[in-house]
Amino acid sequence: MAILFHPFSKRRHFLQLAGLAAAAAVTLSLPRSVWAQTDTPRKFQTNPFSLGVASGSPTHDSVVLWTRLVEISLDSRPVTVRWEVAEDDKFTRITQSGQHLATADLGHSVHVELQNLQPNRWYFYRFMVGDAVSGVGKTRTFAKAGVPVEKLKITYASCQRWEAGYFTAYKHMLAEKPDAVLFLGDYIYEYPGNPVSAVRVPSATSSLGFVLTLDDYRNRYAQYKSDADLQAMHAACPWLLTWDDHEVQNDYAGLTGGNSGFADIFSNAADFAARRAAAYQAYYENMPIRVSALTKSLSGLVSGSELRIYQRVDIGQLASFYMLDTRQYRDKQLCSKDGKLGSSVVNPAKCSDWLDPKRTLLGAQQEAWLATELAASKQRGATWNVMAQSTLFGARDNNPSKEQGFFNDGWDGYAPARQRLTDALQKNAVSNPVMLGGDVHENWVGYLKADYSQTVSAQTAPAVGVEFCGTSITSPAGSAAVEKTSERLAENLHFVFADAKRRGYGIVEFTAKQLTTSLRVVDDVRSKTTTPSTLAQFVVPAGRVMIEKV
């Protein structure tokens, strides 16, 4: 059912969304015995699996398989989708099979939560409906917590704006053969395309060109997922996911709307809550995440409840990954220019509430969860403790040799919350903390410091871990950021490397003795044929807070 918002009928459409969510909640609970009775065999005029296949949320014995059926002639009837999992890509040794009901209320998406898999094992999977068969996906489980693991290779990426370039970075990432991909936010952008500078323009959605409704978000995901390089990378290995702002709206904070640079028709809390609910539902429909993320079903999204995506993932004795959500639970930004919603560069000396200890980026519940997880990290005994989240962690003064200017939309704008996290790392003597981030469209490499309260202490305070904040897949950095990279690096001495010119991704290879991070970049995102190269490479020895440039 299409839901179209209009500034003169917002209340009616909010209630429509609530009704859809309630209906979908019933669909989620349909008994398996009903599934086969709700569909009849059909032939498709086009490939219903044109958005590809994906897997995610891996554990030592479970993983989520995903696809979403798309066809112009697809109507509102449920569709029974068959699936198979095998030990080989020819499917001669099938280990599990079954069926899943894809309903219109959930965008005909499929989320199969496999159980009872063997640990530390690769598997192949595919979907079938009518006479159509999907492409073959490859996925894996991890080793059980506490079990020795020799090595692990993960890639991390973020910020893939469609019109800014081609997703060819994924073609080169595919050749790296990683065990998993960490995606750190801004999977889609809610902006309209810019026909003047765009390499390719996303299809129009609302009359304003912005993504606003459930159908808008579904269509935008479908367009992004039509990219062959992105599809191939999804099919190659499981993904661990978090998000940032553009999956909903630029610079939004919790249940407070952001600023997309136009007269947004979602001008009050109820309007934005409806938009966020639509965006969250579309995210669930298009990502390989568990149904348990819908803590209060779809109806809860309308009333402002969470889509819980933060989690801990263990990879044997080698690493624990903490996938964090820095957008959904945060307080709104402080002291933005002209009192507007959204982000600004702010001088803390002119912002009276900058150091308010009650402010949070993760939210009280997630903060408490993370503190508990870090306190228990010694008992789990993982060599590396990796916090994967959406943005730059370390303090960064963006105005070299001038009045201080810190970005209020990142951790700098929530300094007490950052201090609580670094305090927890020290208090619990967390083994080898590593912070991964995105958002800023630049590569920044540096140290996690015990105290970022002022520039001097940030240089001299003890280092408690390391940070690798990655560049974007396509989204450009601002011209000022490119021009002032060396000056900003010199101003913020807890960082050891920075680059704002290149687009790409990162690779982290873990062993019990060290991690090796390679910053991989492409030469031109505006070309369909690109050449990859290594911008820089760093080694961090286990047991020592030391970044060595190779």
Q: Residue 504: what pLDDT?
A: 98
Task: Please state, in angstroms and rounded to a whole number, the distance separating the CA atoms of residues 39 and 30.
Answer: 14
* Residue the block writes with tokens 């779809």: 298
Res 310 pLDDT > 50: yes
**Tokens matching residue 167:** 């997703």
Question: What is the mean predicted confidence (pLDDT) over 288-314?
Answer: 93
Question: What is the mean predicted confidence (pLDDT) over 386-403?
Answer: 94
3-state secondary structure of 225: helix
Q: Residue 13: what pLDDT?
A: 39
CB atoms within 10 A of CB 232: 16
Res 9 pLDDT > 50: no
Higher pLDDT, 367 or 263: 367
Kindly indicate the confidence band of residue 62, based on its pLDDT and cuts at 50, 70 and 90: very high
Q: Residue 89: what pLDDT?
A: 97
Task: Please state, in angstroms and rounded to a whole number, the distance separating the CA atoms of residues 422 and 398.
Answer: 22
Buried residues in 15-32 as b, exposed as e (16+ CB within 10 A):
ebbbebbeebbeeeeeee
Higher pLDDT, 130 or 308: 308
Kindly indicate the confidence band of residue 15, based on its pLDDT and cuts at 50, 70 and 90: very low
Task: Please state, in angstroms and rounded to a whole number, the distance separating the CA atoms of residues 302 and 294.
Answer: 12
Average pLDDT, the chain: 89
Report which secondary-structure segment, H or E, holds 279. helix 269-286
Task: Please state, in angstroms and rounded to a whole number, the distance separating the CA atoms of residues 146 and 316.
Answer: 5
Least confident of 153-162, 408-417, 472-481, 513-522: 472-481
Residue type, 151: K
Q: What are phi and psi of 132, to 5 degrees?
A: -100, 140
Q: Residue 38: what pLDDT?
A: 47
Buried residues in 526-539 as b, exposed as e (16+ CB within 10 A):
eeeebebeebbebe
Q: pTM value?
A: 0.92
Q: Residue 408: what pLDDT?
A: 97
CB 390 within 8 Å of CB 158: yes
Select the CATH number that applies to the domain covering 38-140 from these four: 3.30.465.10, 2.60.40.380, 3.30.479.10, 3.30.70.260: 2.60.40.380
Q: Using one digit for the tens of pLDDT, what is the confidence trace for 29-53? A: 344 433 444 445 567 788 999 999 9
Kindly indicate the confidence band of residue 77, based on its pLDDT and cuts at 50, 70 and 90: confident
Cα dihedral 452, 454, 456, 462, rounded to 10, equals -20
Q: Residue 480: what pLDDT?
A: 86
Q: Report the topology of domain 154-549.
A: Purple Acid Phosphatase; chain A, domain 2 (3.60.21)
Kindly indicate the confidence band of residue 184, based on its pLDDT and cuts at 50, 70 and 90: very high
Q: What are phi and psi of 307, to 5 degrees?
A: -110, 100
Which among 355, 359, 335, 360 has a CA at the least distance from the CA of 345?
335
Spatial neighbors of 222 by CB under 8 A, at least 6 apart, are 51, 68, 70
Q: Residue 242: what pLDDT?
A: 98
Report the DSSP pairing between strands 514-522 and 495-499: unpaired
Q: Residue 453: what pLDDT?
A: 80
Kindly indicate the confidence band of residue 172, based on its pLDDT and cuts at 50, 70 and 90: very high
Q: Using one digit for the tens of pLDDT, what is the confidence trace for 329-377? A: 999 999 999 888 899 999 999 999 999 999 999 999 999 999 999 999 9
Task: Please state, in angstroms and rounded to a whole number, the distance separating the CA atoms of residues 353 and 336.
Answer: 12
In the chain, residues under CATH classification 2.60.40.380 are 38-140
Kindly indicate the confidence band of residue 5, based on its pLDDT and cuts at 50, 70 and 90: very low
**How far apart, in Å, do the first and last CA atoms of the chain sit?**
55
Task: Please state, in angstroms and rounded to a whole number, the distance separating the CA atoms of residues 467 and 283.
Answer: 27
Q: Residue 270: what pLDDT?
A: 66
Q: Residue 210: what pLDDT?
A: 84
CB 253 within 8 Å of CB 331: yes
**Tokens matching residue 510:** 């873990």
Report which secondary-structure segment, H or E, holds 479. helix 479-483
Question: What is the mean predicted confidence (pLDDT) over 147-159?
Answer: 97
Question: What is the mean predicted confidence (pLDDT) over 101-107?
Answer: 93
Task: Please state, in angstroms and rounded to a whole number, the distance separating the CA atoms of residues 549 and 544.
Answer: 15
Question: What is the mean predicted confidence (pLDDT) over 141-170?
Answer: 96
3-state secondary structure of 515: strand
CB 2 within 8 Å of CB 215: yes
CA dist list (Å): 76 to 28, 292, 544: 16, 25, 58
Kindly indicate the confidence band of residue 186, based on its pLDDT and cuts at 50, 70 and 90: very high
In the chain, residues under CATH classification 3.60.21.70 are 154-549
How many percent of the chain have pLDDT more than 70? 87
Higher pLDDT, 401 or 420: 420
Q: Residue 299: what pLDDT?
A: 86
* Residue the block writes with tokens 């059980």: 144
Res 57 pLDDT > 90: yes
In 168-238, at which residue ranges do the beta strands (DSSP E only) sit?
180-184
Q: Residue 44: what pLDDT?
A: 78
Report which secondary-structure segment, H or E, holds 26. helix 10-28
Task: Please state, in angstroms and rounded to a whole number, the distance separating the CA atoms of residues 477 and 488.
Answer: 14
